[in-house]
A and B are shown apart, each in its own frame.
Chain A
Amino acid sequence: MKRNGNTVARGVVAAGLLLAAAGPGRAAEAVRVGAYENLPKIYSLPDGRVSGFFPAILEHIAGQEGWTIEYRKGTWKECLDRLERGEIDVMPDVALTPERQQKFEFTEETALISWAVIYTRPDVVVQSFLDLADRRIALMRGSVYTSGTGSLPELLAKFDIRAEYVEFESYRDVFQAVSRREADAGVVNNIFGSYFEKEYNVARSPVLFSPSQLRFAFPKGSSQGARLKVALDRRLRELKVDPQSFYYRAMDTHLYGAPHGETPAAAADWTAVLTDGEKNWLRRHPVIRVGIDPEFYPFEFRGPRGEYQGIASDYVRLFNERLGLNLRLVEGLAWTAAVAGVRSGTIDVLPCVGRTLEREQWLRFSQPYIRFQRVIMTRLDMPFLAGLKDLESLRVGVQSGTSHEGFLRENSPAEPVLFGSLEESLLALSGGKVDAVVANLASAAYWIRKLNLINLKVAAPASPEQYTLHFAVRKDWPELLGILNKALDLVTADQQREIEQRWVAVEYKPGIERRVVWRIGLRIAVGVAVVLLVILFWNLRLKKEIGRRREIERRLNYRERFERLVAETSSRLVAVKPAEMDRHIQVALAEIACFTGTAAGYLYAFGPQERAERTHAAGDLEALRAAEPGDRDEEWLARLRAGRPVTVSARADGEEHLVRPIRGRVVEVPCATEEQVTGFLGLLDTRPEAPPWSDEDISLLRLTGEMLSSALRRKQIEENLERYAVELERANRQLQDLDQLKSLFIASVSHELRTPLNSIIGFTGVILKGMAGELNDKQRDQLQRVYHSAQHLLALITDIIDISKIEAGRVDVYPQVFRLDEVIREAVESIRPQAEVKSLRVECGPLPELEVFTDRKRLRQCLLNYLSNAVKYTEAGSVRVEARDLSERFEVAVSDTGIGISPEEQAKLFEPFVRLDSHLRIKAGGTGLGLYLTRKIAREILLGEIEVRSEKNRGSTFILRAPRRRPAQPGEEKPS
């Protein structure tokens, strides 16, 4: 049975492979893509290949769609020109503007959001647009920031600020011009700017403008473009929905500087080493939940955007790739929560964990893959420590829940001082709150450099052995342990070294001059003595210079990273669909909590009854529940409602501080949209020695709160929109039904009304002709009235039906070829009897023998309307018809010598039921719909136009112009 199952499964896999190899059943479609230089979004590698975020996305989608991508390189301007001429099929990285929408088709989905940033020479200070007056500003040719709506010149012109602009071919040239002092300032996009600002001598100003949506663009009217657009939209939508998708990975690697996905060694499939049993096991466990330590630098940690980084992250990625594992990070967990998760069964694997006796009870450990030395750190001013024994009388700090804590408890009688993070323990050591810290060498070195803790040193190894880090698997999953051990065997020594080097060789933060920074190739398991020397030496060199700047740097750095987190989160939230919003807000809260080192972040909304309800929370929810003060009291809520932030804890701390019996410290900032406070954002800090919230922290939090509440507001608006759209569609359908009903009604009424009228008119006509016997004069006169009234009613019905049919778009058009002069003569002959009654002359002017192709009957109807109006409103003189050949069109004009129409009346002439205010009006009769209908017919059936020229008491000329060959309209049947 089991054997059979295997065979079947293998068969399915083989079939899948065959299908994949055969492709989607059509030849690969060649897609020509414009490529230009805009690192890191799109650029050429030294060997000529094209790389970057957009190519990565495009090639990923091309692989799925079976396209072959051919890049056509050029400058930005050249690429857009080619796109317009249809010489390329797709152009990536095009900002959406109304001007460009005239020229190109765009995907509906936005690939990236970007905005313009102004950089300056370091000696030029630009705080706002005003500071740009009379400056020389470098721009990139053809960019949205260079010309058109939202461009810098346009924005400055609005402020009446004059500046000199110089255009360059690329953003690199812009930066170069600023660096070389050829320009005072330059405009680049934020992505390019943050990627390259360090390479040039430029300073970032706080001026940002013109956020734009970067999309894929296609030539207008290209059928291939339309196809590519549909495919790209569909794929982008899929990619953006899944936070683990290639899209976000490409963002991390190409835009945010995460290590490139190309892990060392050629991509190879490792699944060959797995047994059938192991493969089966993997199939039964499609998702393996991973818990990590978000702050175990440099082994594993979360980057500024929450992405998984560190040595272990490379192993996890490598295994996912090579073995087809699905090791998936569980979001929003602190390390302690992750460890607890394994015990409670919500986490399956810890990728990077030290081995302790206690942990062995509920974890299985893989072979070690990271080795480090456990060391004792002290301050420079501390006496010499030989080893663990010397710690007995000292205050020893350690990160709680780590293997070091276990180690200390097993090997030293002293009670250790516990810290939430290594960072904190080292800060405490540096600040004199503890005398020593036991930690691993790599992490400690990382933090010492990162925090510039110049007064610390490595005192001694804590024990002579090396310590190791392992993958740890839940106890009941020995199969997975076997798989991971095999995978670790397959990692070569070279690969291992490359991965470690990448993460241990941390870059120095700006502020320390490069020439004094030693590139310390600090490697794990380097001897303690070497490190000791290096750190001492380094400390002496840098002590004076850094000490002064240390704290400022740290704050600046912190603020910069925080701002970046807020900006990135908000640009991510902008692109999120309403249904996904809650999840993304959750992620954002987790990121903010993680970044600020707090246990949990949450969002409250003010409800209708003056109450506040929690809508979102992330992080350590257990701690949050424990700290929850129940209903916030009136004073607390009133402050938030008034738009003021609050800090709360059980201890007094400053004037504005609220003292309430809660566990931990809370900061809450109001979220306002459009001057109304809609809720608040809060953070719960459970660290015992948490630093107080600075004004700066609070202002950044407010920014975050606003961003989150506006995202929620957008969600609400979009949900409403969706609902309205559904309602609108329903209403539309009802209208369509009604419209059909109306047409049906008109058709039946038309027949029903007409039939009795036809009888009345017919019999009256017969009697009037004397066919049924002689009539006396009175009888004849009265019967005439019946006859004319019935005729009038019939005309009215006929006009109304015509109008309704045209309005409903249900009129049948019968174009045919005929001679224009013939139709005119026909119309003139049928009006002549009426004219003769009034002794009017009806004349035809020169009539060209013109062949036309249009609806003859409708043209005749228009002419009859004109002629009968002319006869009605003329008492003496003549009516004259002329026609002209205007090559593409023809023109017929009916002039009379009648009463004429004043300009005011001309304006109303074509409205329904309007008749001229004159003594002739009563005599004239008519339905009042004639000209209204004539114009409708002329416009909508003959596809022409009518015009009137007249002067009071000088007669009128009514003109009709229409195409000689009436073009067929969409939806019309071809005349048979």
Chain B
Amino acid sequence: MKRVLVIEDNENNMELITFILETHGCSVLKAVCGREGVEKALRERPDFIVLDIQLPDILGTEVLKRIRAEEAGRHIPIIAMTSYAMAGDEQRLLAAGCNGYIEKPIDPERVIGQITRIVGELS
């Protein structure tokens, strides 16, 4: 069973992604803003992180940077979630150190497909 940290401020999205991940056998940790996300990521060292890019306090890319700056967070796979990504977003996100990204609206099969490609089987 994989431990996953979801960093997402929108309650509905949090519910949706948690439901999908739990259905596929993950145990989900939750953070509702960027700072909490960075703190939990470094403390809890989950198996992977799903990170919403538009957060209320700090930019998703900044969250990425802070996690990657610490030894504890350097190797945790991070999958970014974006709403309507542009070509530039993709490049920026990969450059900032994320391992993959998924676009909203979330399609359960595509999300699981993308995540397992990056982190392996979930359960």
- B-contacting residues of A (Cβ < 8 Å)? 750-751, 754-763, 765-766, 769, 771-772, 790, 794, 798, 812, 814, 816, 855-858
CB under 8 Å from chain A, chain B span 100-123: 104-109
Within the complex, the shortest CB–CB distance from B61 to chain A, in Å, comes to: 14
Q: How far is the CA of A81 from the CA of B104 in the complex (A)?
A: 64
Q: How far is the CA of A814 from the CA of B109 in the complex (A)?
A: 29
Tell me which of A751, A762, A858 contacts B105 (CB under 8 A).
A762
Q: How far is the CA of A772 from the CA of B18 in the complex (A)?
A: 13
Tell me which of B10, B20, B108 contacts A755 (CB under 8 A).
B10
Within the complex, the shortest CB–CB distance from A937 to chain B, in Å, comes to: 13
Given contacts A761-B105, A765-B108, A794-B105, whether A754 and B84 have CB atoms under 8 Å apart is: yes
B-side contacts of A812, CB under 8 Å? 86, 88
Q: How far is the CA of A816 from the CA of B19 in the complex (A)?
A: 37
Contact at B20–A766, with CB atoms within 8 Å?
yes
B-side contacts of A757, CB under 8 Å? 105
Contact at B109–A769, with CB atoms within 8 Å?
yes
Contact at A771–B23, with CB atoms within 8 Å?
yes
Given contacts A765-B108, A812-B88, whether A755 and B16 have CB atoms under 8 Å apart is: no
The DSSP consensus for interface residues of chain B is helix
Within the complex, the shortest CB–CB distance from B118 to chain A, in Å, comes to: 20
Contact at B104–A758, with CB atoms within 8 Å?
yes
Contact at B10–A766, with CB atoms within 8 Å?
no
Contact at B86–A754, with CB atoms within 8 Å?
no
Contact at B54–A751, with CB atoms within 8 Å?
yes
Across chains A and B, which 9 residue pairs bring their CB atoms closest together, nearest first? A761-B105, A857-B87, A759-B12, A758-B105, A814-B87, A758-B104, A762-B106, A762-B16, A814-B88
Given contacts A762-B104, A762-B105, whether A814 and B16 have CB atoms under 8 Å apart is: no
Across the two chains, which residue of chain B brings its CB closest to A794? B105
Q: How far is the CA of A766 from the CA of B108 in the complex (A)?
A: 6
Contact at B87–A816, with CB atoms within 8 Å?
yes
B-side contacts of A856, CB under 8 Å? 87
- A-contacting residues of B (Cβ < 8 Å)? 10, 12-13, 16, 19-20, 23, 54, 83-84, 86-88, 91, 104-109
A-side contacts of B106, CB under 8 Å? 758, 761-762, 765
Across the two chains, which residue of chain B brings its CB closest to A812? B88
Q: How far is the CA of A812 from the CA of B84 in the complex (A)?
A: 14
Given contacts A755-B10, A771-B19, A771-B20, whether A765 and B105 have CB atoms under 8 Å apart is: yes
Given contacts A765-B105, A765-B108, whether A759 and B87 have CB atoms under 8 Å apart is: no
Pick the most buried of B83, B87, B106, B109: most chain A CB atoms within 10 A of its CB: B87
A-side contacts of B109, CB under 8 Å? 769
The DSSP consensus for interface residues of chain A is helix
B-side contacts of A772, CB under 8 Å? 19
Across the two chains, which residue of chain A brings its CB closest to B17? A762
Contact at A758–B13, with CB atoms within 8 Å?
yes
Within the complex, the shortest CB–CB distance from B117 to chain A, in Å, comes to: 16
Contact at B12–A750, with CB atoms within 8 Å?
no
Within the complex, the shortest CB–CB distance from B84 to chain A, in Å, comes to: 6
**Apart from A762-B13, A790-B105, 15 more pairs, CB < 8 Å:** A751-B54, A754-B83, A755-B13, A757-B105, A758-B106, A762-B107, A765-B108, A766-B19, A769-B108, A771-B19, A771-B20, A771-B23, A772-B19, A814-B87, A816-B91
Contact sample, A vs B, 17 pairs, CB 8 Å cutoff: A751-B83, A754-B84, A755-B13, A756-B12, A758-B105, A761-B105, A761-B106, A762-B12, A762-B16, A762-B106, A765-B105, A765-B108, A766-B20, A771-B19, A772-B19, A790-B105, A814-B86
Within the complex, the shortest CB–CB distance from A753 to chain B, in Å, comes to: 10
Contact at A755–B19, with CB atoms within 8 Å?
no
Within the complex, the shortest CB–CB distance from B56 to chain A, in Å, comes to: 12
Contact at A755–B83, with CB atoms within 8 Å?
yes
Q: How far is the CA of A759 from the CA of B52 in the complex (A)?
A: 14
Contact at A759–B13, with CB atoms within 8 Å?
yes
Contact at B84–A750, with CB atoms within 8 Å?
yes
Across the two chains, which residue of chain A brings its CB closest to B90? A857
Q: How far is the CA of A801 from the CA of B109 in the complex (A)?
A: 28
Within the complex, the shortest CB–CB distance from B123 to chain A, in Å, comes to: 14
Q: How far is the CA of A790 from the CA of B105 in the complex (A)?
A: 10
Given contacts A758-B104, A758-B105, whether A763 and B87 have CB atoms under 8 Å apart is: no
A-side contacts of B87, CB under 8 Å? 814, 816, 855-858
A-side contacts of B13, CB under 8 Å? 755, 758-759, 762
A-side contacts of B105, CB under 8 Å? 757-762, 765, 790, 794
Q: How far is the CA of A751 from the CA of B54 in the complex (A)?
A: 10
Q: How far is the CA of A765 from the CA of B112 in the complex (A)?
A: 13
Within the complex, the shortest CB–CB distance from A580 to chain B, in Å, comes to: 55
Q: How far is the CA of A759 from the CA of B12 in the complex (A)?
A: 6
Tell me which of B12, B19, B104 contacts A754 (CB under 8 A).
B104
Across the two chains, which residue of chain A brings its CB closest to B81? A758
Given contacts A759-B16, A766-B19, whether A771 and B86 have CB atoms under 8 Å apart is: no
Given contacts A751-B54, A763-B16, whether A798 and B108 have CB atoms under 8 Å apart is: no
Q: How far is the CA of A760 from the CA of B105 in the complex (A)?
A: 9
Across the two chains, which residue of chain A brings its CB closest to B91? A814
Within the complex, the shortest CB–CB distance from A35 to chain B, in Å, comes to: 58
Across the two chains, which residue of chain A brings its CB closest to B104? A758
B-side contacts of A771, CB under 8 Å? 19-20, 23, 108
Contact at A798–B107, with CB atoms within 8 Å?
no
Across the two chains, which residue of chain A brings its CB closest to B105? A761
Q: How far is the CA of A855 from the CA of B88 in the complex (A)?
A: 10
A-side contacts of B88, CB under 8 Å? 812, 814
Given contacts A754-B104, A812-B88, A814-B88, whether A766 and B16 have CB atoms under 8 Å apart is: yes
Across the two chains, which residue of chain A brings its CB closest to B95? A976
Pick the most buried of A755, A772, A858: most chain B CB atoms within 10 A of its CB: A755
A-side contacts of B54, CB under 8 Å? 751
B-side contacts of A761, CB under 8 Å? 105-106
Across the two chains, which residue of chain A brings its CB closest to B109? A769
Across the two chains, which residue of chain B brings its CB closest to A815? B87
A-side contacts of B84, CB under 8 Å? 750, 754, 798
Across the two chains, which residue of chain A brings its CB closest to B11? A759
Q: How far is the CA of A761 from the CA of B23 in the complex (A)?
A: 18
B-side contacts of A759, CB under 8 Å? 10, 12-13, 16, 105
Tell me which of A755, A760, A765 contacts B107 (CB under 8 A).
A765
Within the complex, the shortest CB–CB distance from A748 to chain B, in Å, comes to: 12
Pick the most buried of B54, B105, B107, B109: most chain A CB atoms within 10 A of its CB: B105
B-side contacts of A798, CB under 8 Å? 84
Q: How far is the CA of A816 from the CA of B86 in the complex (A)?
A: 13
Across the two chains, which residue of chain B brings its CB closest to A771? B23
Q: How far is the CA of A757 from the CA of B104 in the complex (A)?
A: 10
